[in-house]
Amino acid sequence: MSQTLLESRLITIFRHLHQHPEVSMKEYETTKSIQNWLEESQIAIRPTKLETGVFADIIGGKPGPVIAIRADIDALPIEEETGLLYASKVKGVMHACGHDFHTAAAIGAAYLLKECQSELKGDIRFIFQPAEELGGGAEQVIKDDQLQGVHAIIGLHNKPDLPVGTIGLKDGPLMASVDRFHIVLHGKGSHAAMPQNGQDPIAAASQLVTALQTIVSRNVSPLQSAVVSVTKITGGTTWNVIPNEVTLEGTIRTFDHSIREEVKARFNAIVQNIAVAFGQEATIGWFPGPPPLYNHSKITDIARKTAKQQSLHVIQPEPTMGGEDFACYLEQIPGTFAFFGTNGKEDWHHPAFTIDETAIVKAAYFLYETARNLLDESFTNTDE
């Protein structure tokens, strides 16, 4: 297939996905479409116990390692405001993070690898993963044994602030761990004019928000990174009543496992001590997300050389406090995750988020060539 024909085909696939987005764990039609597009090229679909997501293998003509290519397939519960001719047809749902781009690029890589199947020195596993946005999708894939026999994995994420033709590749930490917290301060309500008769959880919550900021400023080294953000406070029903309870929610982000545990320990201590100081009780709920995303140095180096061979402009990106469950795969097997320039006007999760379609075929060739080079290098998960 010529590059021009491939590009046209992938843009058609991308636009179809963009017009028919589905949120996490509801990607039923997306799953059917991906499976059909792969089967049209006689790419073998793998069995799965999952209701959504597609997994496929291209068995090379020569023995060698198994390299996985991963793309996420879910959309977001956001009303689209792009004005595109191919805008979402589903009210309140859009591909505002570019997973349609990732999926189209991975399908393009599959088409290219299928064409040279007999030449491949090993096998290629395709993982079209559900529920990246909701979280837990990667863990479901792992439990479904879709990493069985895989030696290394590669993936990418669009980057709107980078121009098309630019790729960000970095060894080591690239994206942060994600933990969500939910706190309930149990006080005692009273009339607003007689606060001495209660234990005011709003006053306690105000002190707590301020105190939590000292975790990063006074417990984490200035040479390290961490974020503690309280993003939601709910309490009270009217202007002249002190409520019984206040709820706080937010997130903690870190790049290091030990710092992640230290921040969590300090967080628990501060919440409980503030509650006691105000004569109240605190209930803390933790919802751990993906771990820090660490790229393997050798695989990243192979990807970097591949990108240069394709005349992509290679940069070392700044690490981001955003999370990505591709990190769950990297806890199991080595791999690398790239940022791919798409020249968008708005960042991820914005209702006017768009990507430049000319980046799709470039991303497809990058995944294709990187996978082939990893096979040619006979990379296994024992390599350092």
Q: Is the pLDDT reported for residue 383 higher than 60?
A: no
CA distance 79 to 334: 37
User: Is 301 contained in some domain?
Assistant: yes
User: Is 384 contained in some domain?
Assistant: no
Domain boundary residue among 238, 271, 288? 288
Domain check: are 22 and 105 in the same one?
yes
Domain boundary residue among 259, 288, 317? 288
Q: Angle, to 10 degrees, between the axis of helix 297-309 and the axis of helix 358-376? A: 120
What residue type is assigned to position 164 of the chain? V
Q: Is the pLDDT reported for residue 177 higher than 90?
A: yes
Q: How does pLDDT run across 43-70, given as a tens digit for each residue? A: 999 999 999 999 999 999 999 999 999 9
Q: What is the pTM of this model?
A: 0.93
> Helix %, strand %, coil % for the chain, to 5?
35, 25, 40
Q: What is the CATH number of the domain that holds 250?
A: 3.30.70.360
Residue with tokens 């005011």: 200
Q: Residue 324's pLDDT band (boundaries 50, 70, 90)?
A: very high
Q: What is the per-residue pLDDT for 100?
A: 98
- The angle formed by the CA atoms of residues 313, 69 and 367, to the nearest 5 degrees, is 25
Domain check: are 166 and 238 in the same one?
no
Q: How does pLDDT run across 120-129, given as a tens digit for each residue? A: 999 999 999 9
Q: What is the per-residue pLDDT for 223?
A: 78
Write out the DSSP string of 81-104: ----TT--SSTT-B--S-HHHHHH
Q: Which two tokens stand for residue 43?
A: 């790419």
Q: What is the torsion angle, in degrees rounded to the nearest 10, for the CA atoms of residue 139, residue 143, residue 148 and residue 150?
A: 0
Task: Quote the percentage of the chain above a pLDDT of 70.
Answer: 99
Domain check: are 231 and 362 in the same one?
no
Whether 108 and 10 have beta carbons less than 8 Å apart is answered as yes
Contacts for 336 with CB less than 8 Å, ≥ 6 apart: 154, 155, 169, 295, 296, 299, 300, 303
Q: How does pLDDT run across 218-254, given as a tens digit for each residue? A: 988 887 889 999 999 999 999 999 999 999 999 999 9
User: 220 is in which domain, residue-wise?
Assistant: 177-288
Q: Is 47 exposed, middle or buried (0-12, 13-18, 19+ CB in 10 A)?
A: exposed
CA distance 326 to 175: 10
Q: Is the pLDDT reported for residue 5 higher than 90?
A: yes
Domain check: are 235 and 345 in the same one?
no
User: Is 278 contained in some domain?
Assistant: yes
Domain check: are 142 and 198 in the same one?
no
User: Is 372 contained in some domain?
Assistant: yes
Domain check: are 45 and 194 in the same one?
no
Three-class secondary structure of residue 219 per DSSP? helix
Q: What is the CATH number of the domain that holds 67?
A: 3.40.630.10
Three-class secondary structure of residue 327 per DSSP? helix
Domain check: are 203 and 314 in the same one?
no
User: Is 92 contained in some domain?
Assistant: yes
Domain check: are 15 and 143 in the same one?
yes
Domain check: are 271 and 340 in the same one?
no
CA distance 43 to 40: 8
Whether 344 and 199 have beta carbons less than 8 Å apart is answered as no
Task: Quote the percentage of the chain above a pLDDT of 90.
Answer: 95
- The angle formed by the CA atoms of residues 298, 295 and 111, to the nearest 5 degrees, is 80
Contacts for 115 with CB less than 8 Å, ≥ 6 apart: 1
Domain boundary residue among 260, 288, 316? 288
- The angle formed by the CA atoms of residues 315, 318 and 320, to the nearest 5 degrees, is 135
**Around Cβ 180, how many Cβ atoms within 10 Å?**
15
Three-class secondary structure of residue 128 per DSSP? strand
Q: Residue 380's pLDDT band (boundaries 50, 70, 90)?
A: confident
Mean pLDDT of the chain: 96
Q: Considering its fold, how many domains does the chain have in total?
A: 2
User: Is 381 contained in some domain?
Assistant: no
Q: Which two tokens stand for residue 66?
A: 């198994």
Rounded to an integer, the average pLDDT of 263-283 is 97
Report which of 111, 153, 104, 197 is spatially closest to residue 295, judged by C-alpha positions.
153
Q: What is the per-residue pLDDT for 381?
A: 62
CA distance 337 to 169: 7
Q: Which two tokens stand for residue 361?
A: 């075929």
